Structure 1
Amino acid sequence: MDGKRKIIYLDCFAGISGNMLLGALIDIGAPEELLRAELAKLPVTGYELSITRVDKGGISALYLDVQVDDSGHHHRNLADIVGIIDHSALTPAVKETSKRIFTRLAEVEARVHGVPIDEIHFHEVGAVDSIVDIIGVAWTLDYLGVEQIYASRLHVGSGFVKCCHGLIPVPAPATAELLRGIPFYQGDIAKELVTPTGAAVLATLGEGYGPMPDGFISSQIGYGAGTWELDIPNVLRLYLGEMPADAIQGQIEGQEDKAYLVVEANIDDQNPELYSYIMEKLFDAGALDVWLTPIIMKKGRPATKLSALLMEDCQAKIAEVILEETTSIGMRFYPVTRAVANREFIVVGLPWGDVKVKISSYRGKICNVAPEYEDCRKIAEELGLPLKVIQHLALKEAMSFC
């Protein structure tokens, strides 16, 4: 797939667990027979894997259940699980992904209980069912060639859940730790909808959270079923598709945790005709935004400040473009943080055609509703009406959805 990445987008309107994710991955094409053969490479016994198609609120989904007999119940620490993985015949990539997820879980459990990581016993997380879920997810992602994972805000549920320490509030402490930096909401369903295993996969492998990434085109949809019978379908909806390789996504809402820079160069001796070309070259080199500012330099000379927003890994390419394509002989970089609104698109129907509308929200509140310029322009030109009239009509129609 030249110029494109294969990604999955997880719609977690009913939460996420390890078996829900694994069921959804099988539903989009990971072969059950090969999965069973891979799991058989583990030095783990005492379980039976059941995969059945069920109906959840009218949605057909795959329910994956690991039934463990008495010999399969063990309290394992991280070293035990790493040993199981390392001594298996799994591929290096699957081993590495699995160990990363389990290590993230161990780190969180150690933080919650205030003990060193090597003293943590995973209890149910270290049981056979969770080993199967995590290693099964790692294998199916590798088999399907998935390069990145994105997810919606997570519906975690509410109320209390019973564990070996008694009743604890939802989300459970380990889950809450894993969800640091990941947007979630509780809703009014009194169940634990996000498990530590599901949270660990996203905390370890997730790239961004919010609506579907810009440029993502889905090709398949799968559903993995959860255990509960709820007022909503207890399923995880998984979209498999592609996204342009140069699309840059961070966490969609709130302050992002990626490292960003701004570069500036003051230029007073360059032909202004070149700026459009230079801006295009900077975007090609990975700039997220490029802008020009008129300034006055020493001795009262009018000049232009060339600025760009970029991620750290593009710094060398950006510097090369500025030095090669402008008359500047130097530039300055400084770190910045940014906050990005949650964005989603709807399509409204006008009598003369459809208009795409972008709805932006921040911390649960709508902050902007904007009809797409090109859609409105096309209708305005065809009808011979003012563009602002079409934009107003599209905005009025869109507000009924907000």
Structure 2
Amino acid sequence: MNMKAIYLDCFSGISGNMLLGAFLAAGVPEAHLRAELAKLPIEGSYAMKVEPVVKNGIAACYVDVQLPHHGHHDGEHGHHEHRTMADIRALIEASSLTEAVKARSLAIFEVLAEAEGKVHARPADMVTFHEVGAVDSILDIVGAAICLDYLGIERVFASKVNTGSGFVQCAHGLMPVPAPAVAELLLDWPNYHVGAEKELTTPTGAAFLRSQASFSESLPEGFRADGVSYGAGTWDLAIPNVLRLYIGEVAEKEAEQGSDFLVLETNIDDMSPQIYGYLYERLFAAGALDVWTTPIVMKKTRPAQMLSLLCRTRSKDVCASVILRETTSIGLRVLEVAERIEAERETVRVATPYGEVACKLAFWHGVLVNSKPEYEDCCLLARRAGVPLKQVEEAARQALAASCATLRRIKK
């Protein structure tokens, strides 16, 4: 069984605009990215400039988010508006983006907040973002999540990372490269610096790797690349300032090497049930693949709940942090999952009289076994059109049924 995957070659670092440029060059329509980003309730104006550039002979796509009076994207840091992690979470959750895009965006910001919190000795939710929390970087992170969702990417792999060297000016003054947050995020990620006294890897880029990617020295065994694209950075250097992105498929058994699944569990008998809904949202945003509660009876016949979640190893620390911060639990059990059997999944978009709906498909040994319109998409269209939800869902199912024969032929 194959999974859609990308491999990021970070020989000249990784930043938010390099990621967006690479995704656009890989086939994400610029109009789709702009339309989805417009769903963020961001006050004030911004302009996203997209242009083809050539870096040391390599054709690349350059994305620059420009704010009024704030200079360039990741070169000239101005005095951007400061936001806390709580502000950013509220902004993203208030948007009409899909739940999948919200969750992935928040997962990236969660690891960023954890790292910044350690550096500045503050709770993650109270961390004040400067460059990273400014509008341009919110757009970078959410934009990357939009692109992954559009391309249907199930696994992300990346090389060792060139951080750059020297010093960079930021809101706190001169900082060494890699910046402290980047150093924290790349603690367990192979990195080096060569070719430039510049900040080649930004906190945004490092957070994307830490929360979304698995390390691979080179293209993973079994990775079949269908294309390669380049996203440009701001700098003109002795080395090409580009991020190389391979897009293709990887066999599932290779995809899961070094990234086992875990179940985290804890028993809770003294917490308000109202908190669970919020807790679930936070855990999914932190990278949990599934979350569930089981009624249990504890000592002294006390009714309680066993909270369980499934996650990949790389998400363990962030998910554990959410549980210990948000619940009354003071400890967790960590169980290794020996094997996980999954149907091959694919997302397609179908046109209905009410608008476009994403639909999830599941294949087992090449045969379509399940199909379902995306609930959140149908809710959004039903509200806009003022029609019953079931009416939109039925229209989506009919449109999906009409295209399923073609889909089966493609899969074969």
Given the two structures, how large is their TM-score scaled by the length of structure 1? 0.62
Contact 2:131 2:170 in 1 (8 A): no
Q: Residues 49-105 of structure 1: CA distance to partner in whole angstroms, max 9, x if unpaired?
A: 100001110011000000001599310001111111111110000000001111111
What amino acid does structure 1 have at the position aligned with 2:29? P
Q: Residues 200-249 of structure 1: CA distance to partner in whole angstroms, max 9, x if unpaired?
A: 00000012231111000100111000000000111000000111122255
1:117 paired with 2:124, answer yes
Distance 1:111 1:93, change over 3 A: same
1:22 paired with 2:26, answer no
What amino acid does structure 2 have at the position aligned with 1:63? Y
What amino acid does structure 1 have at the position aligned with 2:147? T
Hey, what does 2:338 align to over in structure 1? Answer: 314
Hey, what does 1:230 align to over in structure 2? Answer: 237
Deviation, structure 1 residue 158 = 1.2
Contact 2:83 2:133 in 1 (8 A): yes
What amino acid does structure 2 have at the position aligned with 1:47? Y
Work out which of the residue numbers 199, 203, 211 in structure 1 matches 2:206.
199
1:131 paired with 2:138, answer yes
1:89 paired with 2:77, answer no
1:1-400 map, 5 Å: 3-44=1-42, 45-69=44-68, 73-250=80-257, 312-314=336-338
Distance 1:29 1:188, change over 3 A: closer
Distance 1:312 1:38, change over 3 A: same
What amino acid does structure 2 have at the position aligned with 1:23? G
Contact 1:24 1:236 in 2 (8 A): yes
Contact 1:8 1:146 in 2 (8 A): yes
**Secondary structure in 1 matching 2:143:** helix
Hey, what does 1:380 align to over in structure 2? Answer: none
Aligned Cα root-mean-square deviation (Å): 2.1
What amino acid does structure 2 have at the position aligned with 1:143? Y
Q: 2: CA distance between counterparts of 1:259 and 1:237?
A: 28
Q: 1: CA distance between counterparts of 2:261 and 2:88?
A: 33
Deviation, structure 1 residue 164 = 2.3
Q: 2: CA distance between counterparts of 1:316 and 1:245?
A: 11
What amino acid does structure 1 have at the position aligned with 2:50? I
Contact 1:183 1:209 in 2 (8 A): no
Given the two structures, how large is their TM-score scaled by the length of structure 2? 0.60
Q: 1: CA distance between counterparts of 2:340 and 2:171?
A: 52
Identity value in percent = 53
**Secondary structure in 2 matching 1:54:** strand
Q: 2: CA distance between counterparts of 1:15 and 1:118?
A: 28
What amino acid does structure 1 have at the position aligned with 2:123? P
Distance 1:49 1:315, change over 3 A: closer
Q: 2: CA distance between counterparts of 1:104 and 1:237?
A: 24
Larger radius of gyration between Structure 1 and Structure 2:
1
**Secondary structure in 1 matching 2:7:** strand
Q: 2: CA distance between counterparts of 1:114 and 1:139?
A: 32
Q: Residues 372-400 of structure 1: CA distance to partner in whole angstroms, max 9, x if unpaired?
A: xxxxxxxxxxxxxxxxxxxxxxxxxxxxx
What amino acid does structure 1 have at the position aligned with 2:60? A
Hey, what does 1:351 align to over in structure 2? Answer: none
Deviation, structure 1 residue 180 = 1.6
Contact 1:75 1:122 in 2 (8 A): yes
Q: How many residues align?
A: 260
Q: 1: CA distance between counterparts of 2:113 and 2:185?
A: 11
What amino acid does structure 1 have at the position aligned with 2:338? C
What amino acid does structure 1 have at the position aligned with 2:3? R
Q: 1: CA distance between counterparts of 2:120 and 2:141?
A: 22
Distance 1:180 1:258, change over 3 A: farther
Deviation, structure 1 residue 119 = 2.3
Distance 1:158 1:250, change over 3 A: farther
Distance 1:188 1:234, change over 3 A: closer
Q: Residues 111-143 of structure 1: CA distance to partner in whole angstroms, max 9, x if unpaired?
A: 001112232110111111001100000001000
Q: Residues 298-336 of structure 1: CA distance to partner in whole angstroms, max 9, x if unpaired?
A: xxxxxxxxxxxxx9422699xxxxxxxxxxxxxxxxxxx
